[in-house]
């Protein structure tokens, strides 16, 4: 094989290799590093001015913050707290089991206590606690961890 043909084939193989590796490298870097610091996403909100209708005699209500699920608890001192219903292991939606006072993950069997702490693996991180404002009978939950 002459050198110009060999050079051409080597450049083609190098180009194909770079083309194949580039998307994998991009995905890896995107996974490892959070979004650029300058980019800000708008926080989703849930607002109600009728807590009685929302809770319907219970001390909790599941709510939507954009496309994410969360749970809002009414405490005995008439204050409120909210947590994400997204499992910290794989992002699956959790189920609140009132009788057990726990959150259960259907995907991999993880369990979280009422306060959001991990009760059973595989999750290692607690649930995200969300910002709640209660002013003049209006409750606002913001998808922004405390």
The tens-digit pLDDT sequence of the chain (146 residues) is 567 888 888 888 888 888 888 888 787 777 666 555 445 556 789 999 998 899 999 999 999 998 899 999 999 998 999 999 999 999 999 999 999 999 999 999 999 999 999 999 999 999 999 999 999 989 999 987 77
Phi, psi of 135 (to 5 degrees): -130, 125
Q: Are 103 and 94 in contact (CB under 8 A)?
A: yes
Per-residue pLDDT, 33: 64
Per-residue pLDDT, 36: 52
Same domain? For 139 and 114 the reply is yes
Same domain? For 115 and 66 the reply is yes
Same domain? For 78 and 12 the reply is no
Same domain? For 62 and 130 the reply is yes
CATH of the domain at 95: 2.102.10.10
Total number of domains constituting the chain: 2
Tell me the residue range of the domain where 20 lies. 1-40
Q: Tell the burial category of 112 from Cβ atoms under 10 Å away from its Cβ (0-12, 13-18, 19+).
A: buried
Same domain? For 21 and 51 the reply is no
List beta partners, residue 130: 82, 145
Per-residue pLDDT, 46: 92
Could you tell me the pTM of the whole model? 0.70
Same domain? For 53 and 92 the reply is yes
Q: b/e map of 18-51 (b: 16 or more CB within 10 Å)?
A: eeeeeeeeeeeeeeeeeeeeeeeeeebebebeeb
Place of tokens 């980019």: 39
3-state secondary structure (DSSP) of residue 53: helix
Q: How far is CA 36 from the centre of its chain?
A: 18
CA dihedral sign of residues 87, 69, 40, 127: negative
Per-residue pLDDT, 37: 45
Same domain? For 112 and 95 the reply is yes
Same domain? For 61 and 90 the reply is yes
CA angle (76, 79, 85) in 5-degree steps = 95
Q: Are 73 and 82 in contact (CB under 8 A)?
A: yes
């Amino acid at each position: 094989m002459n050198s110009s043909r060999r050079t051409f084939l080597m450049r083609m193989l190098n180009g194909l290799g770079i083309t194949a590796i580039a998307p994998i490298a991009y995905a890896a870097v995107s996974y490892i590093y959070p979004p650029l610091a300058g980019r800000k996403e708008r926080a989703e909100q849930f607002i109600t001015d009728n807590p009685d209708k929302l809770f319907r005699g219970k001390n909790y209500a599941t709510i939507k913050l954009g496309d994410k699920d969360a749970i809002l608890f009414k405490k005995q001192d008439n204050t409120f707290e909210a947590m994400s219903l997204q499992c910290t292991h794989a992002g699956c939606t959790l189920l609140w089991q009132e009788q057990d006072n726990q959150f259960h993950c259907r995907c991999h069997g993880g369990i979280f206590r009422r306060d959001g702490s991990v009760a059973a693996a595989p999750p290692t991180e607690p649930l995200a606690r969300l910002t709640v404002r209660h002013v003049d009978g209006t409750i606002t939950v913001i998808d922004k961890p405390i």
